[in-house]
Structure 1
Amino acid sequence: MKSNYRTNKNRWLIIFITAFFAALYLFAETTSSFSIVSKKEEPKAFIKSGEEDSDQISLTFNISWGQEKVFDILDILKEQDIHATFFVSGEWAERHPKILEQIAEDNHEIGMLGYRYKSYVKQDMEEVRTDLLRAKEVFRKLGYPDIKLLRPPSGHFNEEVLKTVDQLGLTTIYWSINPDDWKNPGTKKIADTILDKASGGDIILLHASDVIKHTGSALKETIPKLKRDLSFVTISELISNSSSESEALN
């Protein structure tokens, strides 16, 4: 009996530790904050939406770990005949080149989350530059040399980060709607947040990592309703077809 009790106790301890670190990782993946620094230099802009009177909207998906749920998302997008933008980390791309290839073959746009998924405001700018250059090299070797869109890890950035990103020829993409799907609040909560807030020019932040439980069902509910008045496009299409709304840290 003691042996069985000890085995069960150890098993539950392992499950608890695994769940804790998965939640911690996803919290880092989605938490957003801005660190505003010196105003002496010209502020660099980031894009959080397209033109307000546009009839276009963009779905974006962050992926930095996992390999299961992304296929569910891809299937739904194919069924609905829409294209989205997937932001993936260089580390994830190295581990899952075939999935990245499938994303591209389905005519979705690929953006980067840097190489390592680590907040840029917690690193010096040389480390940030090194991370970005490493990510660019990874994508180049995988056959994607022209990636121009960056979503900083955890959505964290400041003026220095924006300046470094700009110097490397990348455009910083944020979002205007965040239903916190990674927290798994339920299909209705995710769908209601999107439907209540969505309008032309919006950029919606979602996830395709394995932690998600309700994102797929929420998409099935929201996409047909949004399609009545809006068309889904990639980020590049959204910002090229309108005078996109950018914001500066000042």
Structure 2
Amino acid sequence: MIIVTNKKTIVLFIVGVLAVLLVVSGFIFNRPLNTSEVMNNNPVAKPIDKGSVESKYIAFACNVDWGNEVLPDMLDTLKEKDVKITFFVTGRWAKTFPELFQSIIDEGHEIGSHGYQHLNYSTLDHEKNLDEIKRAENIIMEHTKEKPKYFAPPSGAYNQHTLHAAEELGYKTILWSIDTIDWRKGSTKDIIMKRVMDKEPFPGGIVLMHPMPETAKALPNLIDALREKGLEIGRITDILEE
């Protein structure tokens, strides 16, 4: 036990204690929360990789950051087969190729965001994720006049910053159920078909593809094969909002 007999010492002791309390309380109550604390206290929905199993649709998600020479053939096939799908486009692609982008819109396909650039979003902080998604949105809306509802991170790479940024901007983050892996060297139309059909396509599934030459070749047969299984091919909206 400490006994203080000097009045001056008592005063100094009390002042010191109050100063410490003020510093501590200021740190606890007034310091700004960092992003990780905000995310931990406000969990977001996980990315969506499938829709309702009650749906009659399976969705095609075509991610576009290249493939200009292939897209017209894909669009012709989709028109011939009377199919509308979701194209996730990067902002830089839409900005560079506005006429081709407009042709996708004019055909009545759903437009989603693939971010502004084809980056690894899992390495980006909150502000950079926000910036990439918002920049893409601005360019997309110059053509669609409608805000996209869905965001597909390039390569399916994301972190909690990505999910929070997408949710903050009003997006649902979309992944996939079945990957054609059509970008891989050696992917022929038959291999692409096999990769999809071996996964036992199901109602509400999401098939990921890109505008690749072999994908364009496989597309008519793929649509027919899925229809033979009793499935209709549609957009992300078709499997989520029926």
TM-score in same-fold range (> 0.5): yes
Structure 2 counterpart of 1:215: 215
Q: CA RMSD, aligned part only? A: 1.7
SS in structure 1 opposite 2:58? strand
Distance 2:154 2:81 in 1: 29
Cα distance between partner residues in 2 of 1:141 and 1:88? 13
CA-CA distance at 1:189 after TM superposition = 1.2
Q: Runs in 1 of length 4+ with deviation above 3 angstroms? A: 37-41
Equivalent pair of 1:44/1:159 in contact (CA under 8 Å) = no
Measured against aligned partners, the alpha-carbon deviations of 1:48-68 in whole angstroms (never above 9, x if no partner) come to 111224321111111112411
Change (3 A) 1:43 1:147: closer
Q: Kindly tell me: are residues 164 and 130 of structure 1, through their superposed partners in 2, closer, same or farther at Cα, counting changes over 3 Å?
A: same
Q: Give the Cα separation in 1 of the matches to 2:163 and 2:139.
A: 21
Higher relative contact order (CA 8 A, sep 6+): 1
- 179-188 or 38-47: bigger deviation: 38-47
Q: What secondary structure does 2:208 align onto?
A: strand
The amino acid across from 1:233 in the alignment is G
TM-score between the two structures when normalised by the length of structure 2: 0.78
Alignment of 1:103-122 (within 5 A): 103-122=104-123
Question: Structure 1: how far apart are the matches of 2:194 and 2:54?
Answer: 22
Structure 1: runs of 5+ lacking an equivalent: 1-36, 242-250
Distance 1:144 1:116 in 2: 21
Task: Give the distance between the partners of 1:82 and 1:189, measured in 2 at CA.
Answer: 22
CA contact (8 A) 2:58 2:202 kept: yes
The structural deviation recorded for 1:43 is: 4.0
Q: Any conservation in 2 of the 1:125–1:161 contact (CA below 8 Å)? A: yes
Matched, 1:170 2:188: no
Residue aligning to 2:209: 206
**What does residue 99 of structure 2 align with?**
98
> Map of 1:36-185 to 2, 5 A cutoff?
40-41=40-41, 42-183=43-184, 184-185=186-187
The 3-state SS of whatever aligns with 1:47 is coil
Return the alpha-carbon distance in structure 1 between the equivalents of residues 169 and 88 of structure 2. Answer: 17
Do the aligned partners of 2:152 and 2:174 also contact (CA within 8 Å) in 1? yes
Structure 1: distance between partners of 2:67 and 2:190: 24
Letter aligned with residue 205 of structure 2: D
Deviates more, 1:37-46 or 1:213-222: 37-46
Deviation, 1:143, is: 3.7
In the TM superposition, what is the alpha-carbon distance from 1:109 to its structure 2 partner?
Answer: 0.5
Matched positions, count: 202
- Identical-pair percentage: 32
- Partners of 2:67 and 2:60 in 1: how far apart? 19
After TM superposition, the structure 1 stretch with the greater mean CA deviation from structure 2, 184-193 or 174-183, is: 184-193
Q: Secondary structure at the match of 2:217?
A: helix
Structure 2 unmatched runs, 5+: 1-35
The aligned residue for residue 189 of structure 1 is 191
Post-superposition Cα deviations, 1:9-56, rounded to whole Å, max 9, x if no partner, equal: xxxxxxxxxxxxxxxxxxxxxxxxxxxx98834243211111224321
